[in-house]
Amino acid sequence: MADIHLDSTVLAALQDVMEDEYPVLLDTFLADSEERLRLLRLAEQATDGQGLRLAAHSFKGSCSNMGASLLAGLCKQLEEVGRRELLAEAPELIEQIEREFAIVRILLKSERQRYRR
């Protein structure tokens, strides 16, 4: 089911709140997420455990708000890795996050299509 990638009830609630601004919210999330991923990679390359933790924490928060629960779960694991300075496990997790985000992006793009006038 697509709901583990992107929860349709959460999207329905967001649509209800945002009304006409809903597509803008989706665009904003996608752009913001690209930036988060870039920060994650930078922190990993710099072996900055604390930086990794903060970036993962922020990304986790916005993923949960968008209903991307699997992605939020992966971010949570990465946050924990950063907190415990287990940097060897970071590359593998970041790769998983990138793959999951690719799926979420496709799903959001198609959601976005439905609202193109």
Positions in the binding site for another protein (CB under 8 A): 10, 13-14, 17-18, 21, 24-25, 28-29, 31-32, 36, 54, 57-62, 64-67
**Cα dist from 83 to 25, 56, 109, whole Å:** 30, 10, 33
Q: State which residue, 21 or 91, has the beta carbon closest to another protein.
A: 21
Q: State which residue, 84 or 91, has the beta carbon closest to another protein.
A: 84
Q: State which residue, 33 or 44, has the beta carbon closest to another protein.
A: 33
Q: What's the sign of the alpha-carbon dihedral 107, 109, 115, 117?
A: negative
**Closest CB 88 distance from another protein, rounded Å:** 24
The Cα angle at residue 31 between residues 9 and 48, in degrees rounded to 5: 105
**Closest CB 84 distance from another protein, rounded Å:** 13
Q: Report which residue type is found at 100.
A: E
42 touches 54 (CB < 8 A):
no
7 touches 67 (CB < 8 A):
yes
**Closest CB 50 distance from another protein, rounded Å:** 11
**Closest CB 67 distance from another protein, rounded Å:** 7
